[in-house]
Structure 1
Amino acid sequence: MTTIQTVIFDIGNVLIQWHPEAFFDRAIGPERRAAYFDAVPMNEMNDRVDAGENFHEALAEMAQLYPDWTAEIGIWRDRWIDMISPAIDHSVRLLRALRRAGHPVVALSNFGVETFAMAERENPFLEEFDQRILSGELRTSKPFAPIYEAAEAAIGLPPETLLFTDDRADNIEAARARGWQTHLFDGPQGWADRLVAEGLLTPEAAT
């Protein structure tokens, strides 16, 4: 078995929940939310922000293009931090347990520059990584090769010594194709079990 030398975490839906549709279901009701997401390409806009566009400028553009939905677009702007919550506490404990055990821990996440700054203020554990590779800063995102290349260059270790978890299969497949070891995140307990199986944490530390 190849020795893992660095553990790499995605952030959204691994360390912090990210479900905009569920948030808007609560904020404006399921029917209005469905109509909003059908009419306005908010997820595509979010992808553009993750790839380096300015959060506030992108939202201002959407408000101009879709004037019938300015109230809902304003909610996305003003309550964005409520959309990316709560933290997944068990995953945060695993991050900290890995660091206590002396294992380097890296973030590799699709995240806008402005939105990450907001998330970091509300979630101080995001400061605890040894390194952070963020799509908005690099202006490229997962699952495209350049962001993985940037991570490899920053970490400076062979791909087979990297263990990466992400909740999206396409992001995992892109990493696996480069020789990384991977774990498709479907909940913190499965991730904890993988870390124990790799000998990175004891069962007690992984709780």
Structure 2
Amino acid sequence: MPVEAVIYDIGNVLIEWQPERHYDKTIGEKRRREMFEAVDLHAMNDEIDRGAAFKERIYEEAEKHPSFRAEIRDWYDSWIEMASPAIPHSVKLLRTLRSKDVPVFALSNFGVDSFAYAETKYPFLGEFDRRYISGHMKRIKPEPEIYEMVEKDCGIDPAGLLFVDDRQDNIDMARARGWQAHLFEGPQGWADELVRQGLLNAEEASA
């Protein structure tokens, strides 16, 4: 079935999201490994992606682990450094699709306040035709309910949706629901997929 809309994940597709890399730079790999073994920071972030308060939830976690208090608070205090930089080729592809009147949506695990902050740094986050942000939806990928919510809202047959995400579990759920999907391993592979689908030509898809 022809693609009727393209759906983008954001983290590690349009914007790099590498907390471990940030901490390796700021506190060193050894200290970072110790902290991540002691504290499930990604589970904490999942709660924010479900709608928990951004700063409050992180600072609450910091108080539970006083030996890592400053480092955990840094998840909030230096969050934009973790969520950077943008991936320029991916952003270009997004804008080129829209210039050709291809509907482009976002479906991303993202907190309410963290997404609002990211919008102030990355203008392209305001350029989607529709945005499905988990913090507002109170569901996260790969839970099937969030995909169902997208389907009901946009009204497009699942087979007409082309979804790009960097996580295999999110891709697997999309495919299980009948979506077309591409596992993002780099912008060139995504560009090649858009050409294969006939949505862009090779020149339009170039970096």
Q: Does the alignment reach a TM-score above 0.5?
A: yes
Partner of 1:175: 174
Structural mapping, 1:1-207, within 5 Å = 2-207=1-206
Contact 2:4 2:161 in 1 (8 A): yes
Question: 1:77 and 1:185 mapped to 2: Cα distance?
Answer: 27
Q: Residue by residue, what CA displacement relative to the aligned partner does 1:93-132 show, whole Å, maximum 9, x if unpaired?
A: 0000000111000000000001101111110100000000
Matches of 1:59 and 1:164, distance apart in 2: 30
Counterpart of 2:76 in structure 1: which amino acid? Answer: R
Contact 2:142 2:170 in 1 (8 A): yes
* Alpha-carbon separation, structure 2, partners of 1:43 and 1:173: 20
Q: Is the 8 A contact 2:59 2:73 kept in 1?
A: no
Shift of 1:74: 2.0
For 1:114, what is the secondary structure of its paired residue?
Answer: helix
Which segment is superposed worse, 64-73 or 122-131?
64-73
Contact 2:2 2:160 in 1 (8 A): yes
Amino acid at match of 1:131: R
* Aligned-pair CA distance for 1:26: 0.4
Name stretches of at least 5 consecutive residues in structure 2 with no aligned partner: none
Residue 133 of structure 1 and its aligned partner are, at CA, apart by: 0.3
Letter in 2 for 1:194: E
CA distance in 1, matches of 2:83, 2:188: 21
Q: What is the CA distance between 1:60 and its match in structure 2?
A: 2.0
Q: CA deviation at 1:179?
A: 0.4
3-state DSSP of counterpart to 1:140: coil
Q: Which runs of 5+ in 1 are unaligned?
A: none
One-letter amino acid of the structure 1 residue matched with residue 49 of structure 2: D
- Is the 8 Å Cα contact of residues 109 and 133 (structure 2) preserved in structure 1? yes
Determine the C-alpha separation between the residues in 2 that align with 1:108 and 1:77. Answer: 22
Task: Classify the secondary structure of the residue corresponding to 1:95.
Answer: helix
Alignment length (residue pairs): 206
Q: CA deviation at 1:44?
A: 0.8
The residue type paired with residue 55 of structure 1 is F
| Distance of 1:54 and 1:71 partners within structure 2 | 19
Instruction: Say which SS state the counterpart of residue 81 (structure 1) adopts.
Output: helix
